[in-house]
Chain A
Amino acid sequence: MPSSMIDVFRAQLHSSIYWYKNNKWMFFSMFLWPYLLVGVMLGLGALVGNVSLFSKRVGVVDPAFYLLSASAVAMSSVGIVDAVAGFALYNRWLGTLNYIFLTPIREAKLMIAAGIPDSIITPLISVVAVAPAAFYFESIVGGLKLVIILLIMYMGMIPLVGLSVLAATALLFVREESNIISSITPFILLLSGVFYPVSVLPRALQVLSAYVPSKYVVDAAKLAAKYTSMPWGWVVLTLGILAGLGAIYNGVASYVVTKAEVAVKRKGVE
């Protein structure tokens, strides 16, 4: 019987769980990561600049809460790109890629399904990590906002997976040994306006940023930090944009991967 995308999803989910179980330290450090980042940001900010000016520029009321949720979003975006695009590199490096490609399933389906579990786990961990802070700052409302942010993050994940599959295919094709991904992720962070407003970027980059899914997720985090009640109309609009981007990116990705498959298999994946 051929394997289904669900089989691939299940296998990948289990391997992530086993991995975290055997590397508990890594697991716990992921919960500390947003706080470390915010600590550094605020520390540096207070040293070289002015935290209240920053709040005004970015347009948030509570910089600590905003930075925490923005860090969670940043961590998730990086995590998703890493999970999907890094999948090919990491497994090639381990020598597991050929064995994974022996699974009786189309390569495009395999690559998309394999990236999903970590794309779900990382946002979840990042939100759980900042949850105590959210409750501390804004009690139950803070918690509720996080749930909304997580929801938007998951919607943002869908187009990001498509983008990352494209990156992974390119990586397989050029047989790049060095990690291009590590240069892609800062770019995505830059374009999503995580740590400063997109409006300070050059015009061309501002236009480009409209196509970066995590920008909308970051915007959601900003709004959540700004208002005491969520602007529901805006939330729905964001979800709509992300759904559209998701359809486009994944459509393009599965088309390109199907086309590129032959070229990649002429060279071999490992």
Chain B
Amino acid sequence: MSSGNAILAEGLLKDYVTYIRKGFLRKRKRIIHALRGVSFRVRWSEVFGLLGPNGAGKTTTVKIITTLLLPDGGRALVNGFDVVKNPIKVRESIGVVLNVERGFFWKLTGRENLKYFGMLRGLKGKDLEEAIDRVVKLVGLDELRSIDKLYEEYSLGMKARLALARALLHDPPILILDEPTLGLDPPAARGIRELLVRLAKREGKAVMITTHNMFEAEIICDYVAIISSGKISAQGTVHELKRLVADKIPVSIKFSGKIASDLNAVSKLLFESTLSPHIRIKEVRDGFEARILVDAGNEEKAIASSINALVSKGFNVRRAEVVEPSLEDVFIAVTKGDGENAVIND
């Protein structure tokens, strides 16, 4: 395994051009700045997390460093090879998971699918059989002979494991996975997370995942870069990131009631009462939770004024307390309410 960084991205830029129909022939051009200078590095034996809400630019970043999309600017080296100048060397070095829901042939079995993708990479005969046996065991698809079932019969958890098996087939030193646990039930997600950590720690692979799940980033990533609106807004170890909000106190307020239009109105209400710009509201079991970052020393006042504001609008406040800081608070602080469509934890 070569020394240096497994992945190095410097100032990646990407615009998408779309056209909006305005009448029969007229179209208006719209440019979406998906990446606005994204830089990060992934080291060997490390699980690296690119954390961000939907639309932040995670998939775009993954497509660029896997050679599937050309950047408009900046550069990226993978295993020391430039993704634009030497894409074939890059592809030899990586195993990729893009969208765990699809990406296989429905009318072929799991094993036949793996054979196809293995053969594309030049594996054949006994080597191919052995490689398949190895990865199938690794991801746990050997149980109940599920590998010989048609892909169309697979559950989402099995699909995710098969996607991981394909990524590992040629034993690449670098794994790049775009939201590999998206939509999986907790045990399935846990299985995949444990395997990724094992691959990094035991086999020295560099593992890069994207996720919008704070909890996931916090428990498996050695290093996290937070991306929002096409920019990296903070990066470091989970510990370092938490230090960024050391002068802030997270306050959690659980409440219930009818939210008429959207969460933004409530967000605004809480901003007016606490004067903190770092607010995030999410749905939880039987209601909502507002998480507000306030300056140390102001927490009591903030709790009191939020309760007043919520109660005056007819909400039922269940619980209000100071909580332990987590990665979520860093996220709230550095993204300043960007990506309101983000799901924090699911």
Contact = CB atoms under 8 A, between A and B. Distances in A.
Contacts of B102: 94-96
A23 B99 CA distance: 26
Interface residues of B, number: 36
Nearest to B107: A22
Q: Which of A18, A95, A106, A262 has most chain B Cβ within 10 Å?
A: A18
Contacts of A7: 119-122
Given A94-B102, A94-B105, A8 B120 contact: yes
A2 B92 CA distance: 7
B115 A101 contact: no
Interface residues of A, number: 34
Contacts of A4: 122
B103 to A, nearest CB: 4
Given A1-B92, A10-B119, A11-B120, A101 B103 contact: no
Given A18-B108, A22-B108, A23-B107, A99 B117 contact: yes
A19 interface: yes
A18 B102 CA distance: 19
Contacts of A244: none
A14 interface: yes
B195 interface: no
B278 interface: no
Contacts of A99: 96, 98, 103, 117, 166
A94 B103 contact: yes
Q: Which of A99, A105, A265, A268 has most chain B Cβ within 10 Å?
A: A99
A48 interface: no
Q: Which of B70, B94, B115, B116 has most chain A Cβ within 10 Å?
A: B116
Nearest to B106: A94
Contacts of B89: 104
B68 interface: yes
Contact of B91 (A14, A95, A104, A267): A104
Contacts of A22: 107-109, 112, 150
B31 to A, nearest CB: 13
A257 B14 CA distance: 23
Q: Which of A18, A102, A103 has most chain B Cβ within 10 Å?
A: A102
Contacts of A14: 112, 115-116, 119
Interface in B67-83: 67-70, 72
Nearest to A8: B120
B88 interface: yes
A270 B68 CA distance: 9
Interface of B: 63, 66-70, 72, 88-89, 91-92, 94, 96, 98-99, 101-109, 112, 115-122, 124, 150, 166
**Across the A-B interface, the 3 shortest Cβ-Cβ residue pairs:** A95-B102, A11-B119, A104-B91
24 contacts: A2-B92, A3-B122, A7-B121, A10-B124, A11-B118, A11-B119, A14-B112, A14-B119, A94-B106, A95-B101, A95-B102, A95-B104, A96-B103, A96-B104, A98-B98, A99-B117, A99-B166, A101-B68, A102-B67, A103-B120, A104-B89, A104-B121, A265-B69, A266-B72
